Amino acid sequence: MGIKFTQLKKHDRDVIQRMVNDGSTQLEIAKALGKHKSTISRELNSKTVQRKNNRTKLVYTSLGAQTKRDEKRRKSRRKRLTKWDLEWR
């Protein structure tokens, strides 16, 4: 039987945000969550945003990451045909 893969949950993203703010390494975050270090790396690379206060700064927020994940999931879903659509074909 192969490895079981699971997506990161909101709680996982909260932990990532807290640990990043505390200065933890990706490896430390991965061990704390029981995930592979590449999972953490991909999460941080794809869901980190630029904030411009006085200078440009890369920031990871769990809320922003969860929002991006929800948008991506919503866009990837197949549009289902309704009865109305079928009548006009």
Which 8-state DSSP code applies to residue 8? P
CA dist 86 and 83 (Å) reads 5
pLDDT tens digits along 49-83: 776 666 667 788 998 898 888 888 888 776 776 77
Band (pLDDT 50/70/90 cuts) for residue 1 is low
First-to-last alpha carbon distance for the chain, in angstroms, is 44
The backbone region for 34, taken as left when phi is positive above 0, alpha when psi lies in -120 to 50, beta otherwise, is: left
Domains in the chain (CATH in brackets) are: 10-69 (1.10.10)
pTM: 0.71
